[in-house]
């Protein structure tokens, strides 16, 4: 269980100027992250631009990350698609590659009930022996999961937890109460990491860990220490992260993080794939001057 608790970076997918995947930059990013003490990677999620990649590309990315990480951290492969069949294909591939767990977004676009959603997860779990982490992100999918849904799925030992990307920490706390101590909860909105930890999260999966992993690794150490966490330090670290996040959300999450990593020399270009937003020269200058000022 320890290998699944902590800070998991929702990995970006570096791209070259023509929008193709830049594998050397991906390997550099993996190395850069491991060097800063993260517990693992969440590969091919929203931050990884999963839904605008082909399945073949998703497979190549996972293969590269597993090889580059070489067993040093835990690998969660996001295999979710809006259809069950393709999710199963990716899950089987993840198992063959040696991923430690799979995760799948709640199926979106076609309106189905909790029953079909549960059957979707059961079918993916039946296809491999890997543990499953449900990916709840109502802001993007428009799907709210019920407490009964969580409770039922958590009774399946193969379903080990949920990546909870919502600001509703009351609901997170209710999952903790209803599903028990063993069920893993990952905080998914980095700006409320400290709040999520107090609502019972065991760790976090986040996009901003790509550009500031150290801050969250320190917060996780604080909240998981045996003795009581030092609240003023925790609040100060969260405030430091949130200052960057507040700046970032004026622009665009994925393009912004890629731009910072490009400025840091980790990525060769800050390109995102169409139709995601590419920054104008004026936006790039604003980000650069904010970055230069925050570095000093
Ligand atoms: C994923 O699958 O990559 C994630 O959901 C990562 C979680 C991020 N959510 C989104 C929509 O990007 O880290 C968060 C988020 O960027 C951050 O909290 C800022 O809102």
**Res 214: pLDDT:** 96
pLDDT value at residue 115: 96
Question: How far is the centre of ligand 1, averaged over its atoms, from the C-alpha of 266 (Å)?
Answer: 20
Q: How far apart are CA 138 and CA 108, in angstroms?
A: 10
Whether the per-residue pLDDT at 294 is higher than 90: the answer is: no
Q: Ligand 1: which residue has its CA nearest to atom 7?
A: 206
Q: Is the beta carbon of 187 within 6 A of some atom in ligand 1? A: no
Please identify, by atom number, the ligand 1 atom nearest to the C-alpha of residue 253: 16
Q: Which residues form the catalytic set?
A: 135, 163
CA distances from 279 to 23, 253, 295 (A): 22, 12, 21
Is this structure's pTM higher than 0.90?
A: yes
* Secondary structure (DSSP) of 84-145: HHHHHHHHHHHHHHT-SEEEEEPP-SS---HHHHHHHHHHHHHH-SS-EEEEE-HHHH--PP
47 touches ligand 1 (CB under 6 Å): yes
> Phi first, then psi: what are they for 57, rounded to 5°?
-65, -40
How many whole angstroms from 171 Cα to the centroid of ligand 1?
18
Instruction: Provide the 3-class DSSP secondary structure of residue 269.
Output: coil
Place of tokens 């976090």: 204
Residue 10 CA: which ligand 1 atom is closest?
3
Q: Is the pLDDT of residue 20 over 80?
A: yes
DSSP structure string for 8-40? EEE----B-TTS-B-HHHHHHHHHHHHTTT--E
Whose CA is closest to 164, among 200, 130, 217, 128?
A: 200
b/e per residue 197-232 (b: at least 16 CB within 10 A): bebbbbbbbbbbbbbbbebbbebbebbeeeeebeee
Q: Is the CB of 44 under 6 A from ligand 1?
A: no
Q: Looking at the DSSP assignment, which residues form a beta bridge with residue 75?
A: 41
Residues 6+ apart with CB under 8 A from 172: 164, 166, 185, 187, 196, 199, 200, 201
Please report the atom of ligand 1 found closest to the CA of residue 105.
2
| SS3 (DSSP) at 286 | helix
Question: Residue 26 and residue 105: Cα distance in Å, rounded?
Answer: 23
- For 221-243, what is each residue's pLDDT tens digit? 999 987 777 899 999 999 999 99
Arithmetic mean of pLDDT over the chain:
96
* Segment 99-111, tens digit of pLDDT: 999 999 999 999 9
pLDDT confidence of residue 230: 87
- CB-neighbour burial class of residue 257 (10 A; exposed 0-12, middle 13-18, buried 19+): buried
Q: Is 211 in the pocket of ligand 1 (CB under 6 A)?
A: no
Q: What is the pLDDT of residues 32-77, one digit of tens each?
A: 999 999 999 999 999 999 999 999 999 999 999 999 999 999 999 9
Q: Is 253 in the pocket of ligand 1 (CB under 6 A)?
A: yes
Alpha carbon 57 to chain centroid, angstroms? 18
109 C-alpha to center of ligand 1: Å? 19
CA 42, chain centre distance (Å):
5
Specify the pLDDT at position 233: 94
- CA–centroid distance, 179 to ligand 1, in Å, is 24
11 CA: nearest ligand 1 atom:
3
Q: Is the pLDDT of residue 275 over 90?
A: yes
Task: Say if residues 120 and 107 touch (Cβ distance below 8 Å).
Answer: yes
The interface predicted TM-score (ipTM) is: 0.94
From 253, 255, 258, mutation site for ligand 1 pocket: most ligand atoms within 8 A of C-beta: 253
Does the Cβ of 206 fall within 6 Å of ligand 1?
A: yes
Residue with tokens 């999520």: 196
Separation of 26 CA from ligand 1 center, angstroms?
18
Q: Which of 72, 64, 127 is nearest to 97 (CA)?
A: 64
| 295: pLDDT strictly greater than 90 | no
- Range 263-276 average pLDDT: 95
Segment 1-22 mean pLDDT:
96
Find out whether the beta carbon of 196 lies less than 6 Å from any atom of ligand 1: no
Predicted local confidence at residue 228, as pLDDT: 75
- Alpha-carbon distance of 214 to 158, in angstroms, equals 31
Q: In which band, very low, low, confident or very high, does the pLDDT at 296 lie, cut at 50, 70 and 90?
A: low
Residue whose entry in the numeric block shows the structure tokens 């970032």: 248
């Amino acid at each position: 269980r320890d290998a699944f608790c902590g800070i998991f970076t929702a990995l970006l997918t570096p791209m070259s100027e023509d929008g193709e995947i830049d594998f050397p930059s991906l390997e550099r990013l993996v190395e850069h992250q491991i060097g800063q003490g993260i517990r693992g990677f969440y590969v091919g999620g929203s931050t990884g631009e999963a839904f605008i990649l082909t399945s073949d590309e998703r497979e190549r990315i996972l293969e590269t990350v597993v090889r580059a990480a070489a067993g040093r951290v835990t690998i969660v492969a996001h295999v979710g698609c809006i259809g069950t069949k393709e999710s199963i294909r990716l899950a089987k591939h993840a198992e063959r590659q040696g991923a430690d767990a799979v995760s799948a977004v709640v199926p979106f676009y076609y309106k189905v009930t909790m029953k079909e959603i549960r059957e979707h997860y059961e079918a993916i779990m039946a296809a491999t022996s890997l543990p499953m982490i449900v990916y709840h992100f109502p802001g993007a999918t428009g799907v709210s999961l019920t407490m009964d849904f969580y409770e039922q799925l958590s009774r399946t030992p193969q379903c080990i937890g949920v990546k909870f990307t919502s600001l509703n920490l009351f609901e997170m706390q209710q999952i903790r109460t209803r599903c028990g101590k063993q069920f893993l909860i990952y905080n998914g909105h980095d700006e409320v990491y400290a709040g999520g930890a107090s609502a019972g999260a065991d760790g976090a999966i986040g996009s901003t860990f790509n550009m500031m992993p150290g801050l969250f690794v320190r917060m996780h150490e604080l909240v998981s220490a045996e003795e009581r966490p030092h609240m003023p330090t925790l609040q100060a670290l969260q405030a430091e992260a949130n200052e960057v996040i507040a700046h970032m959300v004026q622009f665009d999450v994925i393009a912004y993080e890629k731009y910072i990593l490009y400025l840091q020399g980790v990525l060769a270009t800050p390109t995102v794939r169409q139709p995601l937003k590419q920054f104008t020269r004026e936006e790039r200058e604003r980000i650069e001057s904010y970055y230069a000022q925050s570095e000093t």
